[in-house]
Structure 1
Amino acid sequence: MTDFIKRLQERRLNVWEQTKALLDAAEARTGEERKLTAEEETTYQALNADLDQIDARVKDMVEAEQRSKDADEAFRSLLDQPVNPDQRGGAAKGEVERVRSWLTGQSARSLDIRPESPLPLDSRTLSKLTATAGANTVPISFYNQLVQHMTENSGVLAAGPTVLRTASGEQLQVPKTTAHSANASIVAEAGNLTANDPTFGQVSLDAYKYGFLLQVSHELANDTAVDLLGYLAMQAGRALGNGFGAHLVTGTGSSQPNGALTAATLGKTGAASVVGAASGDDLIDLFYSVIAPYRNSSSCGWLMRDATVASIRKLRDNSGGAGTGNYLWQPGLTAGTPDTILGKPLYTDPNVPSVALSAKSILFGDFSAYFVRQVESLRFERSDDYAFNTDLITYRAILRGDGDLVDTTGAVKYFAGNAA
């Protein structure tokens, strides 16, 4: 991590301290004066905007560093200079060369991008490691770049769902837990044991097709083939992440994935006196509405939109008396690590509804209970004829996937604004 990024992180922590000082000063007053004045509210919003801008800047800088390393290695490859085998695996290098050849029209017009390990069925958790945790030492293939950008644009994918990859797209039946066994009871000697079975159902995971077109000039494709590789990965990943990711949050389950918000169960309803917003006590109640095994999972976290985070930053617990406890929201201490609420990571997604009456504005729970099915390959096709009159090359990207919650006993809960 560069010194500049470290300075940005220090500035972020400093802005948060200013924000806390502003809120603490308001809390120290009595009665109605405890509310932020119009001037203080303006300052508070400006500080929040500054936090968000720093977050975006740090993210861009980290990505720029990685792109620079990838580009340097690609140029070394083009110049036939030896590459340290510890820096890049042969499979990843071969994939990059194959994609570059396809981009510039030197090979077939269709290209399938697959994970490096050709497993027929792979169940794992998506995660996004920081550069300081060792990500810079791991070779990044074109496929992994795509997945990274998809994850960055989908809060559900970033939160750590269970990902099932299949080689083909036939319907996949996954068992679903709808009720756990009840408590065992004392039985008299020679007495009959009571049946106590859990209740199961089935989740059908299909392979809905998501696709888009991307056009670039013939000159761009042939003059800057190295840069075009990262550009296509970024644009394809973001487009597929935005489309697929929206349904992973709010999909209806009818001819599209069943979104995490749709499948989750109610954990807490807001107070009647508050127009849709959550209080500190509401978040604590929502936290403990998820039972301990799910709550203690490494994939347990919060999901909400950015606008909701601004109001959450004001909230405290009551551990030190009314309004004098610890802030529930805590900033991540290193670049790339998520902020936390009550010690659990916070992920944001623009597809989560805004705070409003009856709105499901906050999700909390174990996102590993949400299954994302993805057909193994990401299909790309290239056409020089589609926009022949403008000398544009058209690329088509297609992803097939689905998603659903496989444990409806309460692994993931939502907060709803008061309906009255």
Structure 2
Amino acid sequence: MKIQELYDSRVTVVEEQKALNDLALAEKRDFTPEEQEKYDKMDANFVRITDEIKTAEAAEKRQLERTAEIEKREGLLKSHKAVAKTPPDGDTRDKKDKKDETRKAEYRDAFNAVLRNEMSMGEIRALQADSAVAGGFLVAPEDFIASLIKSLDNRVFIRGLATKYTVAKAESLGVPVLDNDPDDFDWTSEIKTGSEDSSMSFEKRDLFPHPLAKRIKISEKLVRVSLIPIDALVRERLSYKLGVTQEKAFFTGNGANKPLGIFTASASGISTDRDVSDGNTVSAITADNLINVKYSMESQYRMGCQWIFHRDLIKMIRKLKVPGTGDYIWKPGISADKSDTILDFPVNESEYAPNTLSTGKYVGILGDFSWYWIVDALSMQVKVLNELYAETAQIGYIGRLETDGMPVHEKAFARVTLA
């Protein structure tokens, strides 16, 4: 079934669920056992179709990326052949510093040879005098790191919404947290400069890329026979593992040698001043609360807002109606470029968003996530474990990447909190 057909089927299921829910609401009663069973079956069908849509869209995106990777590799091979036929003209030795070594085509080829277990660390040390190997870890080529970060952006949706910076190595950006906005501009004459402003103030938690490491295993046979270039294969596996770790940290990290999460109450990020519980009960979200959350934010921040919820909460929210109008506050996306919405804001689902229903717990957030800043260091390292998994005919890889993240302006966020 085509992706658009899946979207259409999903909308049909939603309308059937609405009709059943409307009947119970009109009669001011709960579902009968038979109605509950019917609704649950429809809900399971809704989840199944939603998962099929996500899988199909992800597969389509991966196929495009793999095709681009193969085309890129074919282009590089052609360029290598052209260079090989061109005689050297004088002293063509690269005199750039160490970081430029990782941009060379021969270094990239050697890196891939190491990943395929075809070259020893000693051989790659001999490739370059200043050595890109330290403690058994091999510095990844710059284009490998850039592609990995791009893959993470696609895999971890909050990265796609956030403001991202890259630094050559792990060093602080010294990013300030904006405490108060400046006052309004002054109307003045042409030669006047306006009054001095002292209202804008900053707190400071340095954005400093912290290291995280993940280990993956790939079968030796897959490494030998795969049509996908080895660096792309390793990068794809690493991006999944790193993506899960980063998404958890961007949500609930405590900021100590790791990112500061959006669901962590902190004066250096989002304080409890941005928690909204009005209208909620101790165990459930209400439509009134979500409306309160929306209007707790100033209009300039609402323009780019999106929701984040766990699927358990989305399931609950899908039954809620706007008081007075009777309109459902959740609306289904009807195509790939028109996502599901809650009160007209796009909604993102994450397994790592909180879903504990008890007093005072966070259960969702509305925010303009361009005010969540992420910094990545372009200094990734990879270690090949060519003997550890020999008994199972696998090759192990450890990837080390350095990153950090934090909210930099709490007024751009409002957390959904239970009473």
d(CA) in 1 for partners of 2:219, 2:231: 14
SS of 2:283's equivalent in the other structure is coil
Identity over aligned pairs, percent: 22
| Alpha carbons 1:76, 1:82 under 8 Å: kept | no
1:39-54 to 2 correspondences below 5 Å: 39-54=34-49
SS of 2:370's equivalent in the other structure is helix
1:9-408 to 2 correspondences below 5 Å: 9-30=7-28, 33=29, 35-69=30-64, 101-106=113-118, 108=124, 110-114=138-142, 143-144=146-147, 147-149=150-152, 151-152=154-155, 154-158=156-160, 160-181=161-182, 196-226=198-228, 231-262=233-264, 263-265=269-271, 266-271=274-279, 274-297=281-304, 300-320=305-325, 324=326, 326-335=327-336, 337-354=338-355, 355-408=357-410
d(CA) in 2 for partners of 1:168, 1:69: 30
Query: Which letter maps to 2:295?
Result: Y
d(CA) in 1 for partners of 2:346, 2:385: 43
Query: Which letter maps to 2:276?
Result: K
Distance 1:95 1:391, change over 3 A: same
SS of 2:359's equivalent in the other structure is coil
| Alpha carbons 1:113, 1:379 under 8 Å: kept | no
Query: Which letter maps to 1:399?
Result: L
Structure having the larger proportion of residues in strand: 1
| Alpha carbons 2:311, 2:351 under 8 Å: kept | yes
| Alpha carbons 1:329, 1:342 under 8 Å: kept | yes
Structure 1 match to 2:98 = none
User: How far 1:38 moved relative to its partner?
Assistant: 3.1
Q: TM-score, normalised by structure 2?
A: 0.76
Matched length: 364
Distance 1:113 1:243, change over 3 A: farther
User: How far 1:230 moved relative to its partner?
Assistant: 5.3
d(CA) in 2 for partners of 1:14, 1:96: 51
- Listed one character per residue, the Cα deviations across residues 310-335 of structure 1 (whole Å, up to 9, x for unaligned) are 00101111242xxx2x1111111212
Alignment RMSD (CA, Å): 3.4
Distance 1:58 1:233, change over 3 A: farther
Query: Which letter maps to 1:280?
Result: A
d(CA) in 2 for partners of 1:95, 1:328: 55
User: How far 1:301 moved relative to its partner?
Assistant: 0.7
d(CA) in 2 for partners of 1:169, 1:155: 24
SS of 1:317's equivalent in the other structure is coil
d(CA) in 2 for partners of 1:63, 1:44: 28
- Listed one character per residue, the Cα deviations across residues 365-402 of structure 1 (whole Å, up to 9, x for unaligned) are 11111111111244323232333454431111111111
Query: Which letter maps to 2:54?
Result: K
Query: Which letter maps to 1:295?
Result: R
Distance 1:175 1:149, change over 3 A: closer
SS of 2:290's equivalent in the other structure is helix
Distance 1:199 1:10, change over 3 A: same
Distance 1:304 1:176, change over 3 A: same
Distance 1:376 1:255, change over 3 A: same
Distance 1:15 1:106, change over 3 A: same
| Alpha carbons 1:146, 1:233 under 8 Å: kept | no
| Alpha carbons 1:270, 1:276 under 8 Å: kept | no
Structure 1 match to 2:95 = none
- Listed one character per residue, the Cα deviations across residues 159-208 of structure 1 (whole Å, up to 9, x for unaligned) are x111111111012201221122457999xxxxxx8965212122211221
Query: Which letter maps to 2:303?
Result: N
Query: Which letter maps to 1:147?
Result: K
d(CA) in 1 for partners of 2:69, 2:110: 13
User: How far 1:353 moved relative to its partner?
Assistant: 1.5
SS of 1:226's equivalent in the other structure is coil
d(CA) in 1 for partners of 2:323, 2:342: 15
Query: Which letter maps to 1:103?
Result: L
Unaligned runs of 5+ in 2: 79-102, 125-136, 188-194
d(CA) in 1 for partners of 2:106, 2:55: 28
| Alpha carbons 1:8, 1:54 under 8 Å: kept | yes
